[in-house]
Structure formats: C-alpha cells, structure tokens
Chains A and B, each alone.
Chain A
Amino acid sequence: MAQELFAPSSLIFSATLLAALSGVPLLFPWLLNASRAQLLSIVLMLAASCAGLTGAILSIFSGVSVLFELAWTLPFGSARFGVDPLSAWFLLLIFLIPGSAALYARSYWHADSRRSNVRKMTFFCGLMTAGMSSVVLARDGISFLFAWELMALAAYFLVSTEDENPEVKEAGTLYMITTHTGTLALFALFPLLNLLAGSWLFPATGSLSASSPLASAIFFLALFGFGMKAGIMPLHIWLPSAHANAPSHVSAVMSGVILKVGVYGLIRTLSFFHGIPLWWGCCVLVLGVISGVVGVAFAIGQHDLKRLLAYHSIENIGIIFMGLGVALIGQTAGSPAMMLLGMSGALLHVLNHAIFKALLFLGAGSVIHATGTREIDLMGGVARRLPYTALLFGVGSVAICGLPPLNGFVSELLIYLGFFQGIQGEGGAAAAAALAAPALALVGGLAVACFVKVYGIVFLGAPRTESHTAKHEAGWQMLLPMLLLAVLCIAIGLAPGLVAGHLQRTSLTVLPLLANTAGLPLQELVPMTMITLSGVLLLALIAVFTFWYWRKLKLAPCGKADTWGCGYQRPAPRMQYSASSFAEMLTSLFAFVLKPQNHRPDKIAGIFPGRSSFYSHVPEAVLELVYIPLLKRMYQRLSGIRRLQGGILQQYVLYSLVTLIVLLLASYL
C-alpha cells in the first residue's frame, strides 16, 4: 500500500489535485486572514511542486508508461490518464516554475497590499497548474480538451488579474479570442483522429500512416491549434500583450510553461504517425526559422521590458520548432542521428527556456517593482541598488543567448549538430538543414545584441530619471526562486551529461523509429564530457585572470574619475545611449518586417528653436497590419450572421437543442 502511495504516478496525480486546491484557503476570508491564507496556499503549492517533481523525476528514471482509466458516464466514455517519459519531461517544468512563482508572489503580490485581486490570482494560478498537468497526463481526446480548456480559461483570469486597467482588459480579450480560435482547431482535430484511429484513446506511437489526406489535415490542425498556444510566428499576436500585462510571476509561468504545453500537444500528435513526408518537417522547420528570426527582431525594437521578453519567447519557440523540424526531416531521411539530436535538442530547449525565461521574468518583476515602470529607457543603473537581482538576471541573459557555459548553449548545440548531420545527406533534407543552421546563428547573434541592450540599459550605467531610480533590493522570497533557477541554468550548462540519458529515453518514447536503432547513445553523438571540460576550463581561466587582475589592482595605484566625456564638460545621465538608439541600426535593417514608426521632430530652425521631441516605436506589425484590417473586412461582410447572436442565454440553449435534434435526425437517415 505504502509502495503504491509513493509510486511516481500517484505522486503526480496527488500533486495535480493539491495544486488545484492550493488557492482554496484564500476563498474563506471569514476563517483566515488574507496574509495567513496566502502563506497556507503557498505551502500547498510548494508541496504540490515537490511531490510533482519527485514523481516526474522518478518516472523518467524508471522509463515505464502507465495508463489509468477513470470510468464515468459522460457520453464519450471513460477518461484515460497516463504517465510516460514524455509527459514526465513536461511535468518537470509544469511543477518547477509555478512552485517558484508561488514563493515569489509572497513578496511580489503580497495579500496585504493587493487585497482586491490576490484571491483571484492565487486561485487561478493553482487551477492553471493543475490544468497544464492534466493536459500532459490526458490520454484521450475528450479529457485532453477538458484539461486544455481548464488551463486556457484559468490563464485568461490570470492575464486579466488587474482588469480595472483598460490595457489589461484588452490584452485579456485578445488572449481569449485567440485561445478559442486555437481550441476550435483542436475540436476538429480530435474527431478526425478518432476517425483515423477508431477510438478516442490516443493511438500508440507510430501506429498511423502519415500518407493519407486525413493525416495531413490533422497535421495542419495541430500546427494551427497548438501553434497558436505555443506562439509560433504568424499566430503569436496574443502573446506580447498578454505577457506584458499579466503580473510578472504569472508571465513567468505563461511564457515558461503554457507555451510549452502547446509544444507538447504538437509533439504528442506527431508521435502517432509513421512515414512522415518531407514537407511536414520542412513546414515545422520553416515556421521555426521565421519565428526565431522575426521574433528576436521584434524583441530588439521593444522598449517595454516585459514585451521584449515576450518576443524572446516567440524566438525560443522558434528554436524548439527548428529542433522538431530536424527530428521530422531525420525521420523522412532515415537518419537516426538527426532524429535523436533534433528531438533531444528540442526537448532540452523546452526545459531550458522554461528555466531561464522564468528567471528573466521574475528578475524583470523585481526591477519593475523597484523602479515603478516597464519602460527600459527610463531605467538605468539598477545594478547599484539591486546587486543580487542584477547578477541573477545576468545569468539568465547569458543563458537565453545560448552562450557557453550555461544551459542554452547545450540545447542549441544539439540542434546545430542535428543540422550538421543533415547536411551530410542528399537532396531536400540536406538543403533545408544547410539553410537553417546559419538562420539559427543569426538568431543567436541578434539575441546577444538584444540582451546586451536590456542588461546594459536597465542594470548598468547611471539612473536615467530621478523618479524611476531603483529603490530597494527584492525580498528573499523573490531572490530565492531566482537563485534556484540560476543554479539550474549553470548546472545543466556545466553537466549536461546528467540529463543526456533522460533526454534519450524521452526521445525514444516519441520516435518509434529510434527504437529499432537503440544502440545509438546520445553521448556518442555529443561528447557531453567535453562540454563540461571546456566549460570548467573557461571558468577556471576567468578565475585565474580575475585573481591576477585583482592582485595587479592592489599593487598599482588606482584612481576614480568621471566617465570620459570626449571633452564635453557637463555630461548628464540623460545623455546616455538609450535602448532605442542602441537598437536603431538593427531595427532599420529589419524595417521591412518591423515597420517601425518614427516620429521625427519638427524642423529645427532659427537661433532659438522651440521645444522638439522624437520618439520611435515598433508596433505589433502582424496584428496591426494584417489581422485587424482582415477582421474588419470580415466584420463588415458577415454582418448578416451577427443577428444570430442576441446575447440572450435562453436563445443559445435553444440553438443547442435544435442542433441536437438535427443531429439525432441525421443519424436515423
């Protein structure tokens, strides 16, 4: 009995339940005061995190798949849930990030200072975590959709936490519209899958043929429905405003985890098929390249710290899609090395991005808390007052750029090696890989530019404005989760060998073709020990040089002076290079997609010219220039149909009844 209680799957299911209930203490204000209730719900959430993580790690280690059946009397039969290494891999982030965010919220969103919305925020945080966990546990179409909607709706309430603000409300509405458009595609996807497989239960890996037109339809629907949630490039429109307007720790969970649940859906759906045609892989790869390059280009143009991070999520989802594309192309080309490298690179990047993006969003939250603004150009010199936050944010910045010796480098290396394996082949597969690798390099270069901008303008230099000078370091409840995430970045970066075996086992569960060539360890394709060795060598050299430099500074005279102003006598902090000036060259290079709006000053003339101003802004060009005009035209053309929507509940119930009767009659005909 005790053994069963501590079985990985029971731990995971109880963690899901615990997370769902974690917000309940705050719902009884007459029993517990808000501050104590918040503490209790954080403890519940942390317990759920610990249990869930333990369960996930144990089931990855054991590598077994289990399936449970929950008999109930709904029309679609019993619900099935299960745990396998793929689910367990995603459960790692599903329990890690919300747990960290919950602790962070104690200081960032304290019950006493946020009385009006702390209940809603905490309750839906728990519910969203439970929803995400159920999505990856679900093993039949109907349970999947239930869990999916639970997650999507809880996220809506979290985005609109501060719904008294019109901007937040608008972001919430946009999120709601897009998430339901995506769900619509999923509503079509699962019946088609049912048609193809003959059951609502998910088919076994590789059991369906990808050559039928029905399979192609399923592929497109999955790409659309899950791509919408993942925020892949032309479908990303909800993401920047939702991430910017949610509380920072919620953004951390949304960006770190919810997007990945979309990726999970796609991987799961693709795993059902065998004989995948080349164009599937190329489709995913091209979408990945577009998201990567355009996402990071948009990020460079942003002045809002959280919007900028949101665009980086689009970029990183692009990198994950590139990995998936390599794996799919490898499946077509019959190259186990490509499959393994691409899939494990994508899976590792899923975990890595969750870690460093959550770290960056939490760091951004601390900065916004301290400066009272999201505008990068108003900040500056934050590192002086928030040294620990600055250090931890620095670790996150280096990691997200994919630089050694941190974790982002390892996953990008795996994907790169997948490309390099691909170019040894023939035909289309080789050409696709050869063109994608430089694109990933460009993404890496642009990410470095963008994070130098963020780090340099926000944390370094001198404060740009008096009113937004950072005031205080974040509390320990905020620093501790960030520290944990930063340590994970370093640990995975320095010792990737620790996760290699798990990556391989997880990849095997989704790539049935790999099982036939089981004698191909990931360690042989990527020398993990050499990554560790070179990382340690780099750090050792840095340590030696630092020691030497420190000795040198102690021996020689050391003076202090103002920054060299090139002869100008009265430099002021406002004259520092700003984020917009830093990004100007790159945004003008990418002007053909970014469509930046520059408001130039009026003509400056005369001896005493009047006041003048300049500002530049990179809008969400895809939303404003493509979708909104399109939707406006649809709105005008389809005005006749709007009469169906009366806003009266009874009318809608009637519609449902009529539909049911029609369907009943149809089944007799």
Chain B
Amino acid sequence: MTNITVINGTIHIFLALVMPPLLLGVIGKTKAAFAGRVGAPFFQPYYDIIRLLQKGTVFSTTTSWVFRAGPIVALATTAVAALLIPFGAHQSPISFDGDMILYAYLFALGRFFTMSAALDTGSSFEGMGSAREATFSCLAEPTLFFALITLSRLSGSYSLSNMLVNISFGVWLNNGAALLLLVGGMFVVLLAENCRIPFDDPNTHLELTMIHEVMVLDHSGPAFGIIQYAAALKLFVLGAFFVHLALPYATGNPYLDWGLFIISMLELAVVIGIVESVMARLRLIRIPQLLVGATILAAFSTLLVIR
C-alpha cells in the first residue's frame, strides 16, 4: 500500500463522515433562494443532528428490538456502501470484483430493517409508508442494474471503482447516446431512492402522502438523528455514483481531483434544489410509471452498448 492510497483513503472516509449533511443544507438554501427567502444556514442539518443526538427517547410500547435495530442497520449498511463507491477520480478504499452487487444489496438490507422497524410500531400510517417504499424500491432496482451492466460493458471490468473511474469525456464522445440515457434513468433513481421531490416531499407533514418520513414517525432522539444522518449519507453515496456519470471531470492531479469532486457534489445538490423548487410532488399512482420509464431508458442504453 503506497502513501498516496493511504492519504486518498483517509480523505475518502473523512468526506463520507463530514460532508453528507452539507448537501441537505445546500438543497435547502437553493430552495429558499427560489422562494425568495434567506433560508436556514448551510450548516443547519449538522445542528439538527447534533441536537437530536443529545435528546432523550420515547419508545412506543408496541415496539421490539427490530424497531431499535432499524436506524442502526440503515446507517451501517450505508457506511459500508460509502466505502465501496469511488469519490471522483480516486479508487474506493474497498474494491473487488462483484462489489457493485454488494453495493446494491447493502441498500436493500438497510431498507429491509427500516421497513420492518416501521411495521413494528403497529401504526397503519407507518405501514403505508413501508408498503410504498417496498413498491417503489423494487421498481428502481432494475434501472440500477441496467446501468451497472452498461458500465461494466463499457469498461470491461467487474468492480465499481473501475467502472466509474473509467467514464471520461472520451467515453462520452464514443457512447454519448447510451450515457445520456443512463444519466436520465439514474437521476430518476437518485431522486426516488432518496425520497426527494417529485417522489416524496421531505418537508411535508401530511402522513397520508409521505413515504420515507412517515416510516420514521415514531423514532425520536438519537435514533432519529442517526436516521437523518444515514439519509444524508445515502444521498451522498448515490450522488457520488451519479456524479461519475454526469460530470466525469478528472485532471490527473489527486488533490485537484478531490476539489473537483466536492464541487461536483455541491453542483448536484444545487440541481436537486432546483428540481425541488420547480416541480410538485407526483400523484402516488404516477410514480410507478415514471420509475418504469427510467428502467426503459436504462434498458435502451444497455442495448446500445451491447448491440
């Protein structure tokens, strides 16, 4: 292991630990700017999480250990996924043939426990949220796999690091159509998996229409803090995947590349903020159609590179 890999690994872990809530702050600021407000400070999500971690907890009397395990497993799985995904032009700390499958299935494991924890409360609202999450995530899964197949074919490799770092402007020149379709499909998946508008409104307070927020209604205190942080980390990790596709900048200088990565992530947050400002939430029955549409886009891109 050379010096540079140690440094890169340290920066990777440091960014994964520290940066995720900032994305939420940037999204909030962008939305505020569109609405003509000053908005909460960029660091507000950090304050919120720290405040929650210091609070006490109220548990529902119906709940069992599964309810307590939900947030913990969600955070642990997202954290391991964060080690598998390369940030910018750098290899990820853990990389092996087949790690893309682990990446996808880790999120599924986290979801398994989040949804079970929601059902553990016995509340019909949380059951509703859990059912919606289950349905929509099923439909998002094939899109991700079409994307992985296209990337694997383009790079001839079987690990996330090689697949994603391989994308460059040269690859875009040769396979522009396929990659453009993928960017479309994956952006939909990014928004759906992170429960952003137009799929879900993280700010709404009407339980009947929510997905992610309604599943965690009964969580409080440190557990809720963990959930908030894990959600931010998930946005960060899936965002890093998307940024590779859409903004494949690389200079060759490792330190400049880290800077570029941070800037790209912030750009992504601004774009999400803009989408949230100019769009309304979709009706629930329209969501499956949009997700299937994304799958078809990704399938086209696969066919374009396979033919």
Q: Complex: how many Å from CA A549 to CA B68?
A: 9
Checking A445, A453, A531, A563 against B218 with a beta-carbon cut-off of 8 angstroms, the contacting residue is A563
Binary B-proximity of A557-568 (CB < 8 A = 1, otherwise 0): 111111111100
Verify if B120 is at the interface (C-beta below 8 Å from A).
Answer: yes
Question: Which single residue of chain A is at the shortest CB-CB distance from B73?
Answer: A542
Q: Which of B11-19, B221-229, B247-255, B257-265 contacts A (4 or more CB under 8 A)?
A: B221-229
| Contact across chains for A576 and B76 when beta carbons are under 8 A apart | no
In the assembled complex, how far is the CB of residue B91 from the closest CB belonging to chain A, in whole angstroms?
Answer: 14
Checking A397, A449, A534 against B138 with a beta-carbon cut-off of 8 angstroms, the contacting residue is A449
For A423, what are the chain B residues with a Cβ–Cβ distance below 8 Å? 149, 152-153, 306
A window 381-425: CB within 8 A of B: 381, 383-384, 390, 394, 397-398, 401-404, 409, 412-413, 416-417, 419-421, 423-424
Verify if B48 is at the interface (C-beta below 8 Å from A).
Answer: no
Question: Which single residue of chain B is at the shortest CB-CB distance from A546?
Answer: B72
Report the interface size for chain B: residues with CB under 8 A from the other chain: 85
For A449, what are the chain B residues with a Cβ–Cβ distance below 8 Å? 134-135, 137-138
Question: Which single residue of chain A is at the shortest CB-CB distance from B118?
Answer: A456
B window 270-304: CB within 8 A of A: 288, 295, 299, 302-303
In the assembled complex, how far is the CB of residue A413 from the closest CB belonging to chain B, in whole angstroms?
Answer: 5
Q: Which of A82-90, A470-478, A480-488, A580-588 contacts B (4 or more CB under 8 A)?
A: A580-588
| Contact across chains for A585 and B135 when beta carbons are under 8 A apart | yes
Verify if A461 is at the interface (C-beta below 8 Å from B).
Answer: yes
| Contact across chains for B112 and A401 when beta carbons are under 8 A apart | yes
Question: Which single residue of chain B is at the shortest CB-CB distance from A561?
Answer: B58
Verify if B49 is at the interface (C-beta below 8 Å from A).
Answer: no
- Quick one: given A542-B72, A562-B60, are A434 and B302 in contact (CB under 8 Å)? yes
B window 6-26: CB within 8 A of A: none
Q: Complex: how many Å from CA A384 to CA B118?
A: 16
Q: Complex: how many Å from CA A586 to CA B137?
A: 11
Binary B-proximity of A496-510 (CB < 8 A = 1, otherwise 0): 000000000000000
Verify if A441 is at the interface (C-beta below 8 Å from B).
Answer: yes
| Contact across chains for B104 and A441 when beta carbons are under 8 A apart | yes
For A440, what are the chain B residues with a Cβ–Cβ distance below 8 Å? 145
In the assembled complex, how far is the CB of residue B7 from the closest CB belonging to chain A, in whole angstroms?
Answer: 21
| Contact across chains for A576 and B156 when beta carbons are under 8 A apart | no
Q: Complex: how many Å from CA A412 to CA B98?
A: 11
| Contact across chains for B80 and A562 when beta carbons are under 8 A apart | no
A window 362-393: CB within 8 A of B: 380-381, 383-384, 390
Verify if A460 is at the interface (C-beta below 8 Å from B).
Answer: yes
Q: Complex: how many Å from CA A584 to CA B131?
A: 8
Q: Complex: how many Å from CA A419 to CA B148?
A: 11
Checking B68, B144, B207, B288 against A441 with a beta-carbon cut-off of 8 angstroms, the contacting residue is B144
Question: Which single residue of chain B is at the shortest CB-CB distance from A538?
Answer: B80
Report the interface size for chain A: residues with CB under 8 A from the other chain: 86
Q: Complex: how many Å from CA A457 to CA B60?
A: 17
- Quick one: given A452-B119, A545-B72, A545-B76, are A403 and B108 in contact (CB under 8 Å)? yes
- Quick one: given A417-B97, A434-B302, A438-B149, are A538 and B58 in contact (CB under 8 Å)? no
Verify if B179 is at the interface (C-beta below 8 Å from A).
Answer: no
| Contact across chains for A577 and B128 when beta carbons are under 8 A apart | yes
| Contact across chains for B135 and A384 when beta carbons are under 8 A apart | no
For B121, what are the chain A residues with a Cβ–Cβ distance below 8 Å? 461, 563-564
Q: Complex: how many Å from CA A402 to CA B63?
A: 26
For A557, what are the chain B residues with a Cβ–Cβ distance below 8 Å? 56-57
Q: Complex: how many Å from CA A245 to CA B299?
A: 42
Question: Which single residue of chain B is at the shortest CB-CB distance from A414?
Answer: B98
- Quick one: given A445-B137, A541-B79, A556-B55, are A412 and B64 in contact (CB under 8 Å)? no
In the assembled complex, how far is the CB of residue A178 from the closest CB belonging to chain B, in whole angstroms?
Answer: 31
In the assembled complex, how far is the CB of residue A596 from the closest CB belonging to chain B, in whole angstroms?
Answer: 15
For A561, what are the chain B residues with a Cβ–Cβ distance below 8 Å? 58-61
In the assembled complex, how far is the CB of residue A129 from the closest CB belonging to chain B, in whole angstroms?
Answer: 34
Verify if A172 is at the interface (C-beta below 8 Å from B).
Answer: no
For A417, what are the chain B residues with a Cβ–Cβ distance below 8 Å? 97-98, 101, 158
For A583, what are the chain B residues with a Cβ–Cβ distance below 8 Å? 131
Verify if B266 is at the interface (C-beta below 8 Å from A).
Answer: no
Q: Complex: how many Å from CA A393 to CA B60?
A: 23
Verify if A513 is at the interface (C-beta below 8 Å from B).
Answer: no
| Contact across chains for A448 and B149 when beta carbons are under 8 A apart | no
In the assembled complex, how far is the CB of residue B237 from the closest CB belonging to chain A, in whole angstroms?
Answer: 14
Verify if A537 is at the interface (C-beta below 8 Å from B).
Answer: yes
For A545, what are the chain B residues with a Cβ–Cβ distance below 8 Å? 72, 75-76, 226
Question: Which single residue of chain A is at the shortest CB-CB distance from B121?
Answer: A563
Q: Which of A104-112, A199-207, A275-283, A522-530 contacts B (4 or more CB under 8 A)?
A: A522-530
- Quick one: given A423-B152, A526-B98, A549-B68, are A460 and B146 in contact (CB under 8 Å)? no
Q: Complex: how many Å from CA A531 to CA B295?
A: 29
Verify if A431 is at the interface (C-beta below 8 Å from B).
Answer: yes
- Quick one: given A423-B152, A434-B306, are A565 and B123 in contact (CB under 8 Å)? yes
Verify if B116 is at the interface (C-beta below 8 Å from A).
Answer: yes
Q: Complex: how many Å from CA A527 to CA B124?
A: 43
Verify if A150 is at the interface (C-beta below 8 Å from B).
Answer: no
Verify if A77 is at the interface (C-beta below 8 Å from B).
Answer: no
| Contact across chains for B112 and A445 when beta carbons are under 8 A apart | no
Verify if B102 is at the interface (C-beta below 8 Å from A).
Answer: yes
For A542, what are the chain B residues with a Cβ–Cβ distance below 8 Å? 72-73, 76
For B194, what are the chain A residues with a Cβ–Cβ distance below 8 Å? none
For B32, what are the chain A residues with a Cβ–Cβ distance below 8 Å? none
Q: Complex: how many Å from CA A457 to CA B122?
A: 9
| Contact across chains for A451 and B97 when beta carbons are under 8 A apart | no
For A295, what are the chain B residues with a Cβ–Cβ distance below 8 Å? none
Q: Complex: how many Å from CA A566 to CA B121?
A: 13
List 11 A-B pairs, Cβ < 8 Å: A424-B152, A437-B149, A452-B116, A541-B76, A545-B75, A552-B222, A557-B56, A576-B122, A577-B130, A585-B135, A589-B135
Q: Given A434-B303, A549-B72, 19 more contacts at CB 8 Å? A: A423-B152, A430-B153, A437-B145, A460-B122, A461-B119, A461-B121, A526-B97, A534-B99, A538-B106, A541-B75, A541-B76, A546-B69, A556-B222, A557-B57, A561-B60, A566-B207, A573-B122, A582-B127, A582-B130
Residues of B with Cβ closer than 8 Å to A? 53-64, 66, 68-69, 72-73, 75-77, 79-80, 83-84, 94, 96-99, 101-102, 104-106, 108-109, 111-112, 115-116, 118-128, 130-132, 134-135, 137-146, 148-149, 152-153, 156, 158, 207, 217-218, 221-223, 226, 288, 295, 299, 302-303, 306
Q: Which 10 A-B pairs have the closest CB atoms?
A: A577-B127, A456-B119, A445-B138, A449-B134, A461-B122, A557-B56, A438-B142, A530-B96, A445-B141, A541-B76
